[in-house]
Amino acid sequence: MGRMRENNDSGIVTVRQEISGFIKEAPATARDISKAVGITEKDAYYHLEQISKKFGKDLKVILPECRKCGFTFSKKFGKPSKCPECNETLITEPEYYIK
Is pLDDT of 6 > 70?
no
Lowest-pLDDT range, 4-13, 28-37, 75-84, 85-94?
4-13
> Using CA of residue 8, residue 10, residue 14, residue 16, what is the dihedral sign?
negative
Q: Which of 5, 77, 12 is nearest to 47 (CA)?
A: 77
SS3 39: coil
Q: What structural domains does the chain harbor?
A: 4-98 (1.10.10.10)
Q: Is the pTM of this model over 0.75?
A: yes
Tens of pLDDT, residues 30-84 = 999 999 999 999 999 999 999 999 999 999 999 999 999 999 999 889 889 999 9
